[in-house]
Amino acid sequence: MKEKIRNILCSLPVLLVLPYLMVIIVNGAEQALTVHTFDPEEWIACMLEGQIPAGYETEAVKAQAVVTRTNFYDEMCEGRSLRDIVIKRQEYGMSAGKFPELFFRKKEECYEEAVHETENMVLTWNEELKLVPYHQISSGSTRDGQEVFHSQEYSYLKTVDSSEDKKAEEYLSSFYIPASQMPKVLEIRERDSKGYVSWMMADGKPVEGEAFRTGLGLASADFKVQKIGSRYRFLCKGKGHGLGYSQYGGNCLAKAGYDWEHILQTYFPEMEIKNIVQIPKAGV
């Protein structure tokens, strides 16, 4: 606790320390976030640090900033509070306890630059904010939203080529799990058009592929499984769920000279980039 307070104090001007210090002592570091003046762009810059590596190309980070802003505002429009969005939810690629630490410390310049240069820009479909997922590395192409979610509502998420992902160092990964920790009978029943496991049977019970891979901590649901002695070996392609923006693929496009708008139009061909007119309001 003392170390957390020290880190926060070191990153704040002296005159601003006391109010935050009192809140931290009484309620903890997370509660301190709720007394900070609300600036959506500041929150987005903080989220970026937990989502995409600072070493990625600037245009790839900018594309992620627009994705993050879109999801952030979409949640605000749905009535979720600021606390729910930035502290409790973990979809932003960081644990709940990590967020306060990221917020109060000095951020990498690339994140603040990405947010500033894409200020108020979001992705829309039929003039509405929508969920825009992202992942680290695809298995060679992204997945179709309607096919994955079995709903027309996600038809704006189209399959696009991202074959550069196959060159990533982490494209292939192996996981070994003791047979004693696995179901006695494991059978893959269905894959989607891109090779990701849609559902499988575990000891006679149906299990959704993405839930299975998340539960076991596998890199992706595009996997093959083989029993070797007393262990199961999972060979995975890609990293993440494979929907929407491939960060590695976007970084390859940025290295090739394309800007953030081209990157987003590549991965979200059905969506439009818009300058949001009115920033949604959220409570605490």
**Residue 214 clears pLDDT 50, i.e. is over it:** yes
55 band by pLDDT with thresholds 50, 70 and 90: very high
**Residue 125 and residue 263 share a domain:** yes
* Structural domains counted in the chain: 2
Predicted confidence at residue 50, as pLDDT, reads 85
DSSP letters, 26-42, are: HH-HHHHGGGSPP-HHH
Strands 205-208 and 197-202: antiparallel
What is the pLDDT averaged over residues 239-253?
97
Q: Which of 214, 213, 215 is nearest to 224 (CA)?
A: 213
Predicted confidence at residue 72, as pLDDT, reads 87
Residue type present at position 59: E
**Residue 265 and residue 206 share a domain:** no
- pLDDT mean across residues, the chain: 81
Q: Is residue 109 a part of any domain in this protein? A: yes
In this structure, are residues 239 and 173 in contact, taking their beta carbons and an 8 Å threshold? yes
Domain that holds residue 184: 172-237
Predicted confidence at residue 37, as pLDDT, reads 53
Higher pLDDT, 273 or 13: 273
Q: Which of 197, 65, 199 is nearest to 134 (CA)?
A: 65
Within 10 angstroms of residue 162's Cβ, the number of other Cβ atoms is 25
Residue type present at position 240: G
Q: Is residue 110 a part of any domain in this protein? A: yes
283 band by pLDDT with thresholds 50, 70 and 90: very low
Higher pLDDT, 147 or 13: 147
Q: Is residue 100 a part of any domain in this protein? A: yes
Euclidean distance between CA atoms 192 and 198, whole angstroms: 6
**Residue 47 clears pLDDT 60, i.e. is over it:** yes
Higher pLDDT, 235 or 284: 235
For 175-206, the pLDDT digits (tens) are 999 999 999 999 999 999 999 999 999 999 99
Predicted confidence at residue 276, as pLDDT, reads 86
Q: Is residue 62 a part of any domain in this protein? A: yes
**Residue 176 and residue 116 share a domain:** no
**Residue 233 and residue 264 share a domain:** no
Higher pLDDT, 284 or 51: 51
Q: Is residue 79 a part of any domain in this protein? A: yes
76 band by pLDDT with thresholds 50, 70 and 90: confident
**Residue 125 and residue 77 share a domain:** yes
Predicted confidence at residue 5, as pLDDT, reads 34
Predicted confidence at residue 29, as pLDDT, reads 45
**Residue 93 clears pLDDT 80, i.e. is over it:** no
**Residue 221 and residue 188 share a domain:** yes
**Residue 126 and residue 89 share a domain:** yes
Euclidean distance between CA atoms 139 and 191, whole angstroms: 13
Higher pLDDT, 221 or 1: 221
Spell out the residues 6+ positions from residue 167 whose beta carbon is closer than 8 angstroms to its own.
252
Q: Is residue 66 a part of any domain in this protein? A: yes
45 band by pLDDT with thresholds 50, 70 and 90: confident
Higher pLDDT, 126 or 34: 126
Order of strands across the sheet with 121-125? 128-129, 121-125, 272-275
**Residue 264 and residue 213 share a domain:** no
Predicted confidence at residue 84, as pLDDT, reads 57
**Residue 233 and residue 94 share a domain:** no
For residue 172, with 0-12 CB atoms within 10 Å meaning exposed, 13-18 middle and 19 or more buried, which class applies? middle
Predicted confidence at residue 85, as pLDDT, reads 53
Within 10 angstroms of residue 209's Cβ, the number of other Cβ atoms is 24
Strands 121-125 and 172-178: unpaired
Q: Is residue 227 a part of any domain in this protein? A: yes
**Residue 80 and residue 219 share a domain:** no
121: phi then psi, degrees, rounded to nearest 5 = -85, 130
77: phi then psi, degrees, rounded to nearest 5 = -65, -25
Query: Quick one: how far is CA 14 from the chain centroid?
Result: 34
**Residue 90 clears pLDDT 80, i.e. is over it:** no
**Residue 101 and residue 55 share a domain:** yes
For 143-173, the pLDDT digits (tens) are 999 999 999 999 999 999 999 999 999 999 9
**Residue 111 and residue 190 share a domain:** no
In this structure, are residues 222 and 237 in contact, taking their beta carbons and an 8 Å threshold? yes
Euclidean distance between CA atoms 94 and 104, whole angstroms: 15
